Structure 1
């Protein structure tokens, strides 16, 4: 590995997240918080559970950050060429186009990410804190990470508050609890951010839409020509498709299926 690869944005961001995570955990253990009191009293179950949750959230973060979010292959494999040919047969129903940057035929709901320089299937957004896109493959893990991270942050917020003592003189308090108070403020900010992100993404999942589609629906061809969200098939089916991949099939096939259903409904109404 080249030396400058160690200074790439991805390495720096992931290292910063890891150091910050364990740094905050160390502060909570070193100060007189409930976490340290449980440890001193021999009640190791709760401290161990907290450490496992922290480790789990960090592993989920690294998984989402490092995995392929669903890149569209620039040179399709033989099994994908058939899919591309099938996709190319749907232009009368779905306005597909070639990416002007990497020249691949973009599947429905894909978008080119300028940071990653790749087209991503079911593109949601590029997360600078992950230094990776959130797309078709890692979006479910991203939501799971947000949920677990929020649990860890709220628990850490309680632990930090349990160690603060405000009756001491200002100078003494600042020396003994200044770092813990700064940790409390940081955890408060991160908890608000994680909570808002989790709520927003749960709403997007429930309606089967993406951040990109929600923010830029007026700019997206396949949404401008429809009065509503063509991918919203109800809460149960949306959740099943997002977390379990059911029903399976391309977005083009689901679009065409809905077009046929609407056409049959219109003919019956006539």
Structure 2
């Protein structure tokens, strides 16, 4: 683990608990409930913050789906009825190219990450906030983390607003409420960013495409001259395969090229 990764993850942890501490130290609804002995909501909020931090470390430390030397084009193909229905009876040979950086043969939808210096299966993007790639293995955890983080941020935003008072002189207001107002602004920015990220990833998952495929279809051979993802099997199947799949998918078996040939 590099020093920068340690610094980023430490910064996330300190920021999460620092903002939580600000909400408890000021006259927010959380502080008032704690003072009145109503501990259910304060404890629930702390538990949600803890879960979001744990999910953050899970998605940032786990293997995103690194390509290993043993990976073969049709290795780990499923045998379920659903997958058999999706595999065409006759499909042309998929010519997989060898990565110019790590010299491994890349499965379909894999890409080399220059930050991680590894090829990642079903590469989505490299996230600097978690200092890890988002790929086939940790993408569902990443979406779950965004959803839980959004819940925590919206609740924290409401709590911060409940403690802001505008009926004081400027000097007194700055001393008593300035830090809480700064936390409110920061929470508002984070809420907007996380909401946009979650909405975009849910949309991409619903049509079984990735951020890399969505942003650069002209650079990917299996997306050229296509209007959509060749792996899209409908909303229900896409969501089921994404959130409930427990093994790597052989995308070569699900790829049905039309007129264009890989180059």
TM-score over 0.5 for the pair: yes
- In the alignment, which of 8, 12, 35 is matched to residue 7 of structure 2? 12
Q: Within 5 Å, which residues of 2 pair with 1:126-141?
A: 126-141=126-141
SS where residue 208 of structure 1 aligns?
A: coil
- Name the structure 2 match of 1:243: 243
Give the Cα separation in 2 of the matches to 1:25 and 1:15.
15
Q: Per-residue displacement from partner, 1:171-211 (whole Å, max 9, x unpaired)?
A: 00001110000000000000000000000000001000000
Structure with more relative contact order (C-alpha pairs < 8 Å, separation 6 or more): 2
TM-score using structure 1 length:
0.86
Quote how far apart the aligned CAs of 1:106 are: 0.2
User: What secondary structure sits across from 1:154 in the alignment?
Assistant: helix
Residues matched between the structures, number: 247
Deviation of the 1:95 alpha carbon: 4.0
Higher helix residue share: 1
Corresponding position of 1:142: 142
SS of residue matched to 1:164: coil
Q: Is the 8 A contact 2:74 2:250 kept in 1?
A: no
Aligned mates of 2:51, 2:57 — CA distance in 1: 10
Q: TM-score, normalised by structure 2?
A: 0.88
Given that 2:73 and 2:252 are in contact with CA atoms closer than 8 Å, whether structure 1 keeps it comes out as: no
Q: Distance in 2 between the 1:155 and 1:103 partners?
A: 47
The equivalences for 1:74-113 within 5 A come to 75-76=69-70, 80=71, 83=74, 92-113=92-113
> Which residue is 2:82 aligned to?
none
Structure 1: distance between partners of 2:233 and 2:40: 43
Partner of 1:191: 191
Deviation sequence 1:80-126 (CA, Å, 0-9, x none): 46856x9xxx9944342110000100000000000000000000000
Aligned to 1:39: 34
| 3-state SS, counterpart of residue 94 of structure 1 | coil
Q: Report the CA distance shift for 1:65/1:35 in structure 2 as closer, same or farther (over 3 A).
A: same
Poorly superposed stretches of 4+, deviation over 3 Å: 80-84, 90-93, 246-249
Alpha-carbon RMSD across the aligned residues, in angstroms, is 2.3
Q: Is the 8 A contact 1:217 1:224 kept in 2?
A: yes
